[in-house]
Amino acid sequence: MRRRALAVLAAAAALTSCGSGGGDSEVLTVYAAASLRAPFTEIAERFEQTNPGVTVEFSFAGSSDLETQLEQGAPADVFASADTRTMDSAVEAGLVTGEPIPFATNTLTIVTEPGNPENITSFADLTGKGVSVVVCAPQVPCGAATTRLEEAAGTDLEPVSEESSVTDVLGKVTSGQADAGLVYVTDATRAGETVSVVSVPEAAEIVNVYPIARLSDSGNATRADDFVLFVTGADGRAVLADAGFGIP
């Protein structure tokens, strides 16, 4: 009878362990700019392979939206933004521990419907009659870069919509809701044949630097630091380079 009771207890413990992810699993929550979805997903897979028992969970969105969520108390361990301005806000709000580390760079380009039916060949062409253009909202890093690009090119755009993330801009173009949009070079590369790409020479001077940092309220500081080091190390840089990001 005693042996039977022990067996029942062991089975119950095994079920409890399975239900809780094995008991030894660690979850690391990373808030990251929408443009980082593809490379960070791959980086997380590599990180999990070298850190058994760790699961990386993401929240991808516009950097400013993520920073607002963090200020409102959203629980997370690591924050990676698409510009230094947003990260500076996080630092000023006391959300970040230590000095944020720049780990990637990106620039803007024009994407159009496949075949470029409006024959857009320059930034100025985005103001052509009947051309519908979509951009990021000014408070979003890609939107702030768009504003700077307008100044550099001496051209004022009249977008039909301003989106909260660069992926939303890309989606408007690929779905046929806009003739053209301004997105990061990396997003244009990822879109492949679903868009045509028009380079913008002036954009070479408008570079967004991406910083990453551990959050001060992280519940797993050691793993958070490990992930930051992984992103900024050789493995992370290789994945980012393959995705088209520059290295600061």
Please report, in range form, the residues annotated as the binding site. 35, 63, 166, 184
Give 88: exposed, middle or buried? Use CB within 10 Å, 0-12, 13-18, 19+. middle
Name every residue whose Cβ is closer than 8 Å to that of residue 83 and which is 6 or more positions away in sequence: 63, 141, 144, 145, 208, 209, 210
Query: The tokens of 13 are what?
Result: 């413990």
The CA distance from 227 to 247, in Å, is 18
Residue ranges of the annotated binding site for molybdate are: 35, 63, 166, 184
Handedness of CA 29, 34, 36, 42 (dihedral sign): positive
Name every residue whose Cβ is closer than 8 Å to that of residue 229 and which is 6 or more positions away in sequence: none
